[in-house]
Structure 1
Amino acid sequence: MSSDRKQSIPDTVDLGLQSDCGSCFGLCCVALPFAASADFAIDTDLRTRGFSGCTVFDCFGAGQKVSQVTFGGQDWRQAPGTARQMFDVFPVMRQLHELLWYLAEALTLPAARPVHADLRTALEKTERFTCGSAQELAELDVPAHRGEVNTLLLRTSELVRRAVPGRKKERRGADLMGARLKGAGLRGANLRGACLIAADLTGADLRTADLIGADLRDADLGGADLTGALFLTQAQLNAAKGDAATRLPAALSRPAHW
């Protein structure tokens, strides 16, 4: 890949994938089907008051995109007639922005170079969808588009993990709730969609593991090595437990509550 090509790859800031709650009309509180639970203490300092679900949720910038672009800054609270449509569009936009996040990451991975052209095409297509009208977004076949993108992300994962020496564990979609995986060798493992709620992953080697969609709520990542973990998001980290010894991908931040 040429240096010009590398420089043309948009990052998460360029794509507006960083949440800006000040530019949103509180859509995550009113537009998503959250129910009162241990994570969302009521249906609408958050962590200390019991709102841990709110602190780990990430809209990937979808909230401000819907508020300021799709609806041109028209607040549903001042224009109640827009509320229903805005609430319907927000979950669609969030899914598209999440896909943009994964595609942008995939384009930074040298091992995925064989599919970079297809990844870029998918990213540009997804970005065009996010700029559509409210009606176009509401009518979008999101599952079909996710399927297309997922095929590319799977190929990306295979290409990157193939370079990891040794036999890789295949635990896609596995039920590992509460599993004792202290010090486990999971380098290059496929943990896509795995349930790792409250799992003990202290000191585990998760380098280059595929963690897309893995549920890390209350998982203990103390001292774990997540360097180069694939498709890990800030929301997943925020939902987990960790410490100063946990090694993270460069693009992500250590949660304040660790």
Structure 2
Amino acid sequence: MPERPGLRADCANCFGLCCVALPFAKSADFAVDKDAGEPCRNLLADSRCGIHANLRERGFPGCTVFDCFGAGQKVSQETFGGRDWRQGPDVAGPMFRVFPVMRQLHELLYYLDQALALPPARPVRDDLREALDEVVHLTEGGPGELADVDVPAVRERVNVLLLRVSDLVRAGVPGRKKSRRGADLIGAKLKGADLRGADLRGAYLIAADLRGADLRAADLIGADLRDADLRGADLTGAIFVTRSQLDSARGDATTRPPEALGRPAHW
């Protein structure tokens, strides 16, 4: 499944926005507290991370699973025309306000792009294209226009379509499909579970045992897979999966991830 250009992070063309604009909370994901707008202590003058090769070992696994979906370079190079936030508060303030908005819009583009590539989504393909064009248009606005975008309203309109796509995809799976939308499955024992075509939207699967589970054609949009054990699990055809979800989980050579995403390097 080809990915729409511009939806993959290109850190070389970004001014380290995720390392500055967003806050950190000291936890298992981040070694320190950091306020929004405050540069991370590991950010170098050239916008590279000084501990990029050792983020997990140095207490920053949250950084390894963050995905801006290409919003960083979009804001840096297009919205602000290559101006660096270091030039002053007149650039930094607006840039930091716009980045989270752009990140959410790019995430929606990622899901819409996935949906358009799914054969069962044919009945709503025109609506998906219209929604994608609308979101693309929003991403092309200036700093003031972007800051005023009603992201929840846009997300709600797109979500209606994504739910329809989910229904169409999962309807092709025979038998009764499990619905665990938003369920608390933290640490759940799901080894070998038949979750084909399951609705796992927003489910909390933190540290869940999913070894050998069948997740083919399951809807995993927004599911929290941090430290979930996916060794031997089959995610072939699972929909609305992101790289950051896989990066946050544990897998091995026997895990079958969605073909378009591939296998994380640390598995």
Q: Is the 8 A contact 2:4 2:113 kept in 1?
A: no
2:28 aligns with 38
Of the candidates 80, 103, 114, which is equivalent to residue 71 of structure 1? 80
3-state SS in 1 of match to 2:85: coil
Q: Output aligned runs, 1:3-82, within 5 Å.
A: 11-14=2-5, 16-42=6-32, 43=34, 44=40, 45-82=54-91
Distance 2:58 2:141 in 1: 38
Report the Cα distance in structure 2 between the residues aligned to 1:12 and 1:86, rounded to whole angstroms.
Answer: 26
Give per-residue Cα distances to partners, 1:192-236, cap 9 Å, x unaligned: 000000000000000000000000000000000000101000000
Q: Which runs of 5+ in 2 are unaligned?
A: 35-39, 41-53
Q: CA deviation at 1:13?
A: 4.1
Task: Give the deviation of 1:51 after TM superposition.
Answer: 1.1
8 Å CA contact 2:247–2:264 kept in 1: the answer is yes
Structure 1: stretches of 5+ with no match in the other structure:
1-9
Deviation >4 Å, runs of 4+: none
CA contact (8 A) 2:197 2:216 kept: yes
Which of residues 158, 161, 164 is equivalent to 1:149?
158
What residue in structure 1 maps to residue 122 of structure 2? 113
Residue in structure 1 matching 2:206, options 176, 194, 197: 197
Q: Over residues 153-191 of structure 1, what are the superposed CA-to-partner deviations in whole Å (9 max), with x where a residue is unaligned?
A: 000000000010111000000000000000000000000
Q: In the TM superposition, what whole-angstrom CA distance separates every residue of 1:35-94 from its partner, at most 9, and x where no partner exists? A: 121112223321121111001100000000000000000001123321111111000000
Q: What is the number of residues matched between the two proteins?
A: 248
TM-score by length of 2: 0.91
TM alignment of 1:176-187, pairs within 5 A: 176-187=185-196
Contact 2:181 2:201 in 1 (8 A): yes
How far apart are the structure 1 equivalents of 2:10 and 2:24? 20
Q: Select which of 120, 137, 145 maps to 1:136.
A: 145
Equivalent in the alignment of 2:105: 96
2: CA distance between counterparts of 1:240 and 1:214?
A: 11
Q: What's the offset of the Cα at 1:253?
A: 2.3
Structure 1 letter corresponding to 2:136 = E
RMSD: 1.1
Question: How far did residue 12 of structure 1 move?
Answer: 2.7
* Segment drifting more, 200-209 vs 39-48: 39-48
Does the C-alpha gap of structure 1 residues 79 and 12 become closer, same or farther in structure 2, counting only changes over 3 Å? farther
Q: Give CA deviations for 1:92-144 in whole Å, capped at 9, x if unaligned.
A: 00000000000000001110100000000000110010010010000010100
CA distance in 2, matches of 1:171, 1:48: 34
**2:181–2:203: 8 Å Cα contact kept in structure 1?**
yes
Aligned residue for 1:4? none
Q: Give the TM-score, by structure 1 length.
A: 0.94
